[in-house]
Structure 1
Amino acid sequence: MADYGHDLSFGIFVTPKADAGPHIIELARRADAAGLDWVSVQDHPYQPAFLDAMTLLTAIAAATERVAVFPNVANLPLRPPAVLARAVASLDILSGGRAELGIGTGAFWDAIAAMGGPRRSPRESVDALREAIAVIRALWTPG
């Protein structure tokens, strides 16, 4: 097996179905008790059958003790980078350092556009991701 220079970590990915909120929290508690490292949820704000990812991750962090949480992946076209940076930083502080961030370029452009987000070409998506990473890193840099 390849050596990536760090220990392997393991976790679960839960679908944030709106009608399964208590079950999702219970799964996260079990993952925490079992010693897993991560709980992640997908971020599709335009999906009416799903809970909001950041709100759900906050509830998971509040219901667990050691497992880290992250969006898998945050929907960049519908979450402006500066706002996303603040949300994840706040969750990280409130959870005692247990929040991470995964971001992507976006997909499902019709749904994003229907929610008022931009419709981007592949090139525009990658450019926006680069810019978002720079903004988020700048906001997370002390001083």
Structure 2
Amino acid sequence: MSNDVVRLILDDHRRFEDLLRELRSSEGDREKALGELSRLLVAHAEAEESDVYPVLRRFSQVDSEEVEHGAEEHAEGHAALLGLLEAGGPGTPEWDRKLEELSESLTHHLDEEERTILNDARATLDEARRGELGEAFLRARRARIEEGCGSVEYVRALVERQS
């Protein structure tokens, strides 16, 4: 498996999309899918902000405004995730509404990040630097998951800090 940070981030993005599909389906274990999405989404965003975005600002031509915008979209996604975590369970009108809000927020962010930040990173960072960055991203993401970053309490505290 490649440690190229762009590839790792894209792989997470595809997993987010898969989990959103699972959350929409009444046939699967939506609570389990929500738990996985919550853990991975929060860990992913925090690892990007702590270990990837700062390096991209320094060593590539990634626009600082794009990076700031990405962090703002992470905060919006966390707020939407908290809404779904607190919605009371699958199948209710509130769950469906909150799932749609999360889906819209996340889909918008993935599209923008892939077209701007990740394309710029591909163009300006060499393979070795992307590999080093990927290793740092994986370490930070794993540490957040081990801290329990997907719990409703963690997400609530995160949203409060970001507001």
What's the TM-score, normalizing by structure 2? Answer: 0.28
Q: Which has the higher helix share?
A: 2
Q: Which has the higher strand share?
A: 1
What's the TM-score, normalizing by structure 1? Answer: 0.31
